[in-house]
A and B are shown apart, each in its own frame.
Chain A
């Protein structure tokens, strides 16, 4: 569906400056963001050439480890709400491949990319294989987290997260938003997380916002959850001295959409991960220098938290050498 050139064109480049710090960087969803390589952001849910591969990977992960999926009984209304919202959005964004129609409570979904035609009854869990949340997770590349608002907090009570970047969905299920972000350095002293929290608590039904987050991943591996740390952890060491570092080391950008679902009132996080190798990113005007500067300047505690300490200076050297060799 998309070539490498278009992948870069739609890459959500996260750095506005040569240095990076945490901020409450929420902005309205569905606004196009121009980058040096193209633009992204006019859609909430994105389908690209990784669609079949990533969904297959998700299915494998869930087969091996069902703890990546959570679904509390009181979240039934939220799960149907999420399904309705996302399938409506998909059909509007990709009408050439997808159709979503409703007659009363009867839903009909057609997905040509999967050769799929499904009918279900809203609110009847048995009418959809696995229930609405599990089904939704087979249709979109995004990870899904549903948070219930009560007791002045947001509780992670349902979701499917197979591509966690260094955290554990199974462990964090049932936690509050502020507790989930407990381990992140700096954001508490600087009130960033409490502002984000207040923002989320105040969202009105139908509101849709987004923000970006970034880290790095070796070999473009999507599942870098705490569960599988023994599998991907050693790659962080291997890549440092590997001449293929520019091909192996990927910048990983998460576009998070934050949506207040209209009927259940739950807050839905859609987390979409985009990974591109540094070598490809360096082809775009200005990106090598910017990424390199960010990696070089990043404070140690932030680098440690992002897990990039071992290779970030090596990566920065390579990137900065690609920028403008004659001006160094």
Chain B
């Protein structure tokens, strides 16, 4: 199995590596363009690309602002002891092609925030950089805190430039020792209507969020980047057995049950293909469905499935078809 079966990559775009910058702390910035020079899809601040890294697929935040991008820029922390995705990215050369999803949005600025507090830890600076650029472009108020390990201040210069031009407060925090104090000062005395955004390693984000909660920040004002597992998971292959004909249909990873059934020439009524409208519901005879829809009630889930989004926990699912 390769990453090519992931639906977001299948429906994605090819991108050409156009430039590479090695930064402090083992971080490498990569510039990507459309191979034919076409316009790239614009994106919302805080968006990411899912990139096929050989057998794996990883999500990387886009550092740009998102308006009429001429190129996409991502920064990748090399992790030699990881699953291999980042090392694949670190071996890319100018002229290489990668397969990527269209920009996916999961970490959006709150448009009516009075003040955007942007907190970055290490490689978490990438979507924060995008947020800072968007705030500057649209005249929003922002303040930035960037915490990094000694010597690993990638993109600090970019943040300094943005902060200076837009009049944003910028706090640089080198090393772990000063983080709590710097954060306490950063969180203090902020106007009603402020929102906080944090991205970085899991432990860092947990620290920041806990400290903010203790300072009285309600959950709805706290935003953290979370790459959804589902977009990186093509699902396990299974077999659909059609009870009336006895036919068996393979449902590979990255292909929906609906698509697999349509592939046999059958016309299954469907509309939204997203699990909300209820059109494609099919009766289940045996096998445990993995329900991913938002249509069926708990009772209905016992004996039905929405094939456009749901899969099977077992090797075989028997349908009354």
- The residues of A with any CB-CB pair to B shorter than 8 Å are 23-28, 72, 74-78, 102, 104-105, 122-123, 148-151, 157, 195-196, 198-199, 202, 204-206, 209, 262-266
Contact = CB atoms under 8 A, between A and B. Distances in A.
B110 A263 contact: no
A171 B44 CA distance: 30
A105 B110 CA distance: 24
Interface residues of B, number: 28
Contacts of A104: 68
Contacts of B110: 150
B53 to A, nearest CB: 22
Given A75-B111, A151-B220, A204 B104 contact: yes
Interface string B135-156: 0011000000000000000000
Given A75-B111, A150-B112, A262-B42, A205 B47 contact: yes
A24 B44 contact: no
B70 to A, nearest CB: 10
Nearest to B195: A150
B103 A122 contact: no
A198 B293 CA distance: 11
A26 B68 contact: no
B131 to A, nearest CB: 12
A31 B197 CA distance: 39
A205 B271 CA distance: 20
Nearest to B101: A204
A190 B271 CA distance: 19
B93 interface: no
Contacts of A26: 271-272, 274, 276-277
B41 interface: yes
A199 B137 CA distance: 30
Q: Which 8 A-B pairs have the closest CB atoms?
A: A74-B112, A265-B44, A74-B111, A199-B276, A263-B42, A27-B271, A262-B42, A24-B277
A205 B276 contact: no
Contacts of B271: 25-27
A195 B137 CA distance: 35
A26 B103 CA distance: 23
B69 to A, nearest CB: 10
Nearest to A202: B274
A266 B43 CA distance: 12
